[in-house]
Structures are given as structure tokens and as C-alpha cells.
Amino acid sequence: MQVRHFISLLDLSGNELRDLIHRAIWLKQHRDHDFQPLKGRVLAMIFEKSSTRTRLSFETGMVQFGGHAIFLSPRDTQLGRGEPLEDSAKVISSMVDCIMLRTHEHQTVTTFARHSRVPVINGLTDLLHPCQLLADMQTYFEERGDISGKTVAWIGDGNNMCHSYINAARQFDFKLNIACPADYRPLPAIVEPAGCRIRFFDDPLQAATDADLVVTDVWASMGQEEEQQKREQAFHNFQVNSQTMQAAHHDALFMHCLPAHRGEEVSAEVIDGPQSVVFSEAENRLHAQKALLEFLICR
Ligand code: CP
Ligand code: NVA
């Protein structure tokens, strides 16, 4: 059987993604330590960038499913000393059952996948963060039911999270209103295939009007730290605050993949307020990725 990878939400069909979300909800509700479908299986995790949630959720998920996860950093492996990606992918995939990578360049993950004989999971690149969207969708389904036909407002940078929301709008069939400064729009190659589901706004309040879900992310992502000041200026009108949430639907949810900067992209009263589901969203990384690991490895 052909190896399946999860590099983008577009690697699974809409039905497969929905089944995966329902499976994640089921796994969360029926925590059974005797259910060990990945007994003896090994996940290699390669991190070029920092992580709390991604590392912890993948490692915990593997252990709870009876398997094991190995953390690999380019600092301590030959990957950091220039061993070709192609060779690394062949070697690593000859010994483990699945590989998760968090890298700067998206191409690193796609190249790795081309030479891997086991499933490769994108744990975040500069372009996409699909695992986070599994958790976000699970959280929305748990709180409000199916997201199909709903309106999501993305306020902030047209970054990896925004790109993954655009792909999610295609796969889960919701409308996505994007408010971001002109110089920080998402890539046309990702926006265009999503068609009329995506609408751009200069004014965050307009984007948030009647939205069922309001989402934001940091103004400077990992690797953009030296642009922090410039970005603070560009984004200062794009904070999600109580005014934004008042424009949204009265029972709208607020999400943020975390880590967050209170007082920058989101006010403390919103992220710590009653509409915020950021901590369920973070916990759901575990459940959603267990469903993903089971889907990819136990086929
Ligand atoms: N949201 C997220 O991916 O968090 P980490 O960077 O902590 O993994
Ligand atoms: N856009 C952020 C997401 C962190 C989980 C980053 O890439 O740093």
C-alpha cells in the first residue's frame, strides 16, 4: 500500500479529515490505557525550531498508544552537519514507523517525504501548520458542532497558520474573512484555489462581523524575531480585543495556537475571557495527533 504523508491538510480528503476529527473526539472521551495500537512502533521527531505543544503531544501520544518517540535535533545529529536530506530520510525511515519534522523551509519536509518509506508529518514549516488545524477543528466541533457553512475571521499575519486556515476552509467548507496589512497577505498560490470562500478586509472589525470563530497568531513567527519592531508597527491596528469580539457573533469562539503575546495580537481580556478556548485547543493537539498517528501508521 502506498505510504500516506500529512504535509498539508490537502493530503487527506475532506471525508478523511472529518473522520479523523470524530476519531480524535472519541479517543479523548474514551481514554483507555489498554488500547495500544502502536505497541512497539517508533516515531522520530526532528525539530529545527523550538516547541512545547508539538513535541509534548506527539511524544505523549506515542507513549499512550504503547509506542515510543525519539527527539532529534539538527544540533546533535548529522543533519546539522550537512548530511544530505535524501540520505537522512532513507536511513531514518529504514528504522522507524513514522517521522515528524518541524523545519524552516517547507521544501525540507517535502524532500524528506519523497525519500521516506514511512509516513512523514509536517509539525510546522514556514508555510503550513496542519497539525494545529486538526486540533482547532476538533475544538470547534466539540464546542459548536460541524464548522461547515460557518464564518471564521483570521486577524493578523498571512503566515503558516493563516495558510492552513485557508486550506481548512476548502476541506471543511467554511468562509474565511482575512484582515491583515497589505504587505503581510497570505500567498496567492494558497489563496486562489480556495476561491470565493476567502474574503480580504482592511478593517479587522469588518472581518469579524458575525464571525463564528475569531483566530489570530503572533505578529512575528519563529525565525522573524529581528522583524519584531517593524511588525509591531504594521500590525498595531490588528489586535483581537473586546471590540473585535463584540463585532463577532454573540457566541463566537476565540482561538490562538499559542504561544501568545498578550497586549500584542490579542488582549488579555479576550485570551483569558469566556469566549477563549485556547487551552482546549492546546490539549486537543494530543487527541487529534493520536488519531492522525493511528490513521497513518495502522493502515
Ligand atoms: N502551537 C504550537 O505548535 O506550539 P509549539 O510551538 O509549542 O509546538
Ligand atoms: N506562526 C507561528 C506558529 C507557532 C506555533 C510560528 O511559526 O512561529
79 occurs within a structural domain: yes
Which residue positions in the chain have pLDDT lower than 50? none
Which pLDDT value is given to residue 242?
98
Tell me the residue range of the domain where 87 lies: 9-129+284-297
Contact 252, 228 (CB under 8 A): no
| Total domains, the chain | 2
Same domain assignment for residues 28 and 124: yes
Which of ligand 2's atoms lies nearest the C-alpha of 161?
1
How far separated are the first and last CA of the chain, in Å rounded? 8
Same domain assignment for residues 51 and 160: no
2 occurs within a structural domain: no
Q: From ligand 2's centre to the CA of 2, what distance in Å? A: 31
238 occurs within a structural domain: yes
User: 130-140, pLDDT tens digit by residue?
Assistant: 999 999 999 99
Q: What pTM, to 2 d.p., does this model score?
A: 0.98
Q: 246: which residues sit within 8 A by CB, 6+ positions away?
A: none
4 occurs within a structural domain: no
250 occurs within a structural domain: yes
Same domain assignment for residues 142 and 274: yes
User: 65-80, pLDDT tens digit by residue?
Assistant: 999 999 999 889 999 9
The single-letter DSSP state of residue 6 is B
Q: Which residue is catalytic, options 212, 217, 231, 289?
A: 217
3 occurs within a structural domain: no
Q: In whole angstroms, give the CA distance from residue 190 to residue 127.
A: 10
Q: 57: Cβ below 6 Å to ligand 2?
A: no
Same domain assignment for residues 253 and 138: yes
Q: Which residue is catalytic, options 64, 132, 138, 239?
A: 132
Contact 278, 258 (CB under 8 A): yes
User: 64-121, pLDDT tens digit by residue?
Assistant: 999 999 999 988 999 999 999 999 999 999 999 999 999 999 999 999 999 999 999 9
Q: 222: Cβ below 6 Å to ligand 2?
A: yes
Nearest to 121 by CA among 91, 137, 129: 129
Same domain assignment for residues 137 and 125: no
Nearest-CA residue for atom 7 of ligand 1: 52
Percent helix, strand, coil in the chain, to 5, is 45, 15, 40
229 occurs within a structural domain: yes
Pocket test for ligand 1, best of 48, 53, 101, 161 (most atoms within 8 A of CB): 53
CATH number reported for the structural domain that contains residue 205 in this entry: 3.40.50.1370
Contact 127, 160 (CB under 8 A): yes
Residue 200, phi then psi, degrees to nearest 5: -105, 145
Same domain assignment for residues 240 and 291: no
Same domain assignment for residues 158 and 211: yes
The label of the residue with cell 464546542 reads: 143
Determine whether 102 is an active site residue. Answer: yes
Which of ligand 2's atoms lies nearest the C-alpha of 217?
1
201 occurs within a structural domain: yes
Which pLDDT value is given to residue 1?
78
